[in-house]
Amino acid sequence: MKQSASFRDPSGFLFTDKGTLYRQVNEEYKAHYDKLMESGLYHSLVERKLLIPHEEVKIAPPEKAIAYKVIQPDRIPFISYPYEWSFSQYKDAAITTLAIEMLALDKGMTLKDASVYNIQFLEGSPLLIDTLSFEIYDEGSPWVAYRQFCQHFLAPISLMAFTDIRLQQLMRVYIDGIPLDLASSLLPGKTHFNMGLELHIHRHAASQKKYAGKGEKAKVKEARITKLSYQGLIDNLQGTIKGLNWEGVGTEWGDYYDATNYTTAAFERKKSLVGEFIDQVNPKMIWDLGANNGEFSRIGSGRGIFTVSSDIDPVAVEKNYQECRKLKEKNLLPLLIDLTNPSPGIGWENNERTSFIERGPVDVVMALALIHHLAISNNLPLERVGEFFAKAGEWLIIEFVPKDDSQVQRLLSSRKDIFPKYNEAGFESSLGADFKLIRKEPIEGSKRTLYLYRRK
Amino acid sequence: MNNIFEFLAPLARNRAYLDPGSGSILLQLVIAAALGAAFAVKVYWKKIKGALSKNKSNDETDTQVQEPDDPEKKS
């Protein structure tokens, strides 16, 4: 079955066969593929963990008439998208793309596309997953993927750094990256004094406007730049990206753990119960939803279980990723997800980038200190919350936070209490519609309860 | 003239499946020389600095091993 995300490039395509992912390399891409493998570029990139490793396999290609080879790439445990990354994840993805391009140039190749969707996180680091992104470098030609790199990476990252972190969500709207005229108009005036942003965003947008529909085909075809200039362009983009920083200001969650009503003993008790529940299920993958900075996600990932650690707060996700990077954690993927509006399916036929829920179901969903935010802050009926968790995973580790807990009191302080069913009995009967109760343990030292459920 | 360029342009360039955009290509022409020059200066400056620090470390002690300068290596 052909994959829905890889239909634009005539060099080949992804397909699945009996649940395994393969890539057909087309005959027309032969020279480029051979150069990638024989020039040492493939080995150099794989060694640096910049490119997904693959093996050539002898299975029948789905489109035999145009096939050259079939390769089997290593599998990415969870596909994520740029509108789900923290600032530093996005920045690292950009730096990785440019580092690959520099190495490719050294070996006489270049990236013919610079799509952000070709970058995924494996074992904690970003790497290129599209083996067919390279082409033989024709010395003198400009970089064909320059526009795409600026739209997919530089525009969103600079908007996040200089205008508002939330503008990253424009990537959900524009499948081919943020239009440069839009980025240029949204960036503050001071970015005209940042040489990289002035050239690659503002003047780039102006140049696009100037030549739009002018029919400059001849001029474009004749366009030549030296290899040194080409390297200079990549180097300048690298410097520009590296110079972009985001100082996350104090948000709701920044100091969450300091502000809770937990005693240290209750916190430790909760940790050990979560560990017990995980051991009881022994899953391959966990989604920790509402994970804050990933403290409890690490109970799973520390056991070698791949854990998606999602939160709605960009600061929490950023801290989580920085911790991952610092500790070189391989089994944890922090992501920015708003559960009340999780990533939809976007692109052609709503199917190029899959929705968050379609990337499941997962073995275990963890929802710790989350239910009150969904039920009280977002008015979601408990039954609907249960239905959602049942779609997302087979097992559920969930913490019930009662009304007399100070965190719930805080949420109720500014609104009318319209939640008569929000109590332990109401919670259990609502979850009972989709799940079977396996274990229930009070978290001593707090008013909260931890449950282990299995989908019916 | 166009025909000569078309003839010279190898297959690889013509088969680009993305539209690079006229404005994006022509901007590269405008900024190419300056960025190339800046890159050249940077590379040579690194080489000079590398050579100087190598000499310095050689003067101080012969046992110190210099790390190879590889800006692309992932940290």
Give the 3-state secondary structure of A34-58.
HHHHHCCHHHHHHHCCCECCEEEEC
Provide the shortest C-alpha distance from residue B11 to chain A (in Å): 9
Q: Tell which residue, A43, A143, A32, has the closest CA to residue B28.
A: A143
B74 neighbourhood in chain A, CB within 8 Å: 48-50, 96, 99, 125
- Residue B69 is predicted with a pLDDT of 44
Element (H, E) at A72: strand A67-73
In DSSP terms, A15 is beta-bridged to A2, A22
Q: Tell which residue, A100, A202, A83, A86, has the closest CA to residue A150.
A: A202
Cβ-Cβ contacts under 8 Å for A132 (sequence gap 6 or more): A9, A11, A12, A23, A25, A29, A32, A33
Q: Is the model's pLDDT at B64 over the cut of 50?
A: no
Contact yes or no for B35 and A232 at CB 8 A: yes
Residue in B23, B30, B42 closest to A235 by CB: B42
Please state the length of chain B: 75
B38 neighbourhood in chain A, CB within 8 Å: 232, 235-236
Q: Are A288 and A307 in contact (CB under 8 A)?
A: yes
- Residue B1 is predicted with a pLDDT of 37
B8 neighbourhood in chain A, CB within 8 Å: none
Per-residue pLDDT of chain A in tens (456 residues, 90 and over written 9)? 777 666 778 899 999 999 899 999 999 999 999 999 999 999 999 999 999 999 999 999 999 999 999 999 999 999 999 999 999 999 999 999 999 999 999 999 999 999 999 999 999 999 999 999 999 999 999 999 999 999 999 999 999 999 999 999 999 999 999 999 999 999 999 999 999 999 999 999 999 999 987 777 778 888 899 999 999 999 999 999 999 999 865 555 455 555 566 788 999 999 999 999 999 999 999 999 999 999 999 999 999 999 999 999 999 999 999 999 999 999 999 999 999 999 999 999 999 999 999 999 999 999 999 999 999 999 999 999 999 999 999 999 999 999 999 889 999 998 888 888 899 999 999 999 999 999 999 999 999 999 999 999
Provide the shortest C-alpha distance from residue B71 to chain A (in Å): 9
Q: Which residue of A has its CA nearest to B33?
A: A229
A125 neighbourhood in chain B, CB within 8 Å: 74
User: Could you tell me the two tokens for A239?
Assistant: 């410097």
Distance CA B48, CA A381 (A): 68
Cβ-Cβ contacts under 8 Å for A262 (sequence gap 6 or more): A270, A445, A446
- Residue B12 is predicted with a pLDDT of 36
- Residue A370 is predicted with a pLDDT of 96
- Identify which has the larger pLDDT, A14 or B9: A14
Q: Are A160 and A90 in contact (CB under 8 A)?
A: yes
Contact yes or no for A218 and B2 at CB 8 A: yes
Across residues B20-49, what is the average pLDDT? 92
Q: How many interchain CB pairs under 8 A, A with B?
A: 145
Band the pLDDT of B20: cuts 50, 70, 90.
confident
Provide the shortest C-alpha distance from residue B70 to chain A (in Å): 11
Q: Is the dihedral of CA A110, A113, A114, A117 positive or negative?
A: negative
B9 neighbourhood in chain A, CB within 8 Å: 138, 141, 221
Q: How many CB atoms lie within 10 A of CB B19?
A: 10
Q: What is the pTM of this model?
A: 0.91
Distance CA A440, CA B52 (A): 68
Distance CA A387, CA A381 (A): 10
For A358, phi and psi rounded to 5 degrees?
-70, -15
DSSP string computed for A322-365: HHHHHHT-SSEEEEE--TTSPPPPBSGGG-SB--TGGG--EEEE
Q: Which residue of B has its CA nearest to A206?
A: B23
Distance CA A98, CA A114 (A): 9
- Residue A262 is predicted with a pLDDT of 72
CB contact, 8 Å: B70 with chain A?
no
Strands A285-289 and A119-122 come out as unpaired
The complex's ipTM works out to 0.84
Listed in sequence order, the DSSP H helices in B1-75 are: 2-8, 11-14, 22-60
Residue in B12, B18, B25 closest to A220 by CB: B25
Q: How many CB atoms lie within 10 A of CB B74?
A: 14
- Residue A266 is predicted with a pLDDT of 92
- Residue A84 is predicted with a pLDDT of 98
Provide the shortest C-alpha distance from residue A140 to chain B (in Å): 10
Domains of chain A: residue spans and CATH: 82-242 (1.10.510), 256-455 (3.40.50.150)
Query: Residue type at A230?
Result: Y
Q: How many CB atoms lie within 10 A of CB A173?
A: 10
Distance CA A371, CA A400 (A): 7
Q: Is the model's pLDDT at B4 over the cut of 50?
A: no
Provide the shortest C-alpha distance from residue A441 to chain B (in Å): 44
User: Could you tell me the two tokens for A184?
Assistant: 């240029």
- Residue A165 is predicted with a pLDDT of 95
Listed in sequence order, the DSSP H helices in A348-443 are: 371-372, 382-392, 406-412, 424-431
User: Could you tell me the two tokens for B70?
Assistant: 């590889």
Mutate one of A207, A210, A216 to test the B interface: name it (highest B CB count within 10 A).
A207
CB contact, 8 Å: A328 with chain B?
no
Strands A285-289 and A362-367 come out as parallel
Q: How many CB atoms lie within 10 A of CB A117?
A: 21
B40 neighbourhood in chain A, CB within 8 Å: 228, 232
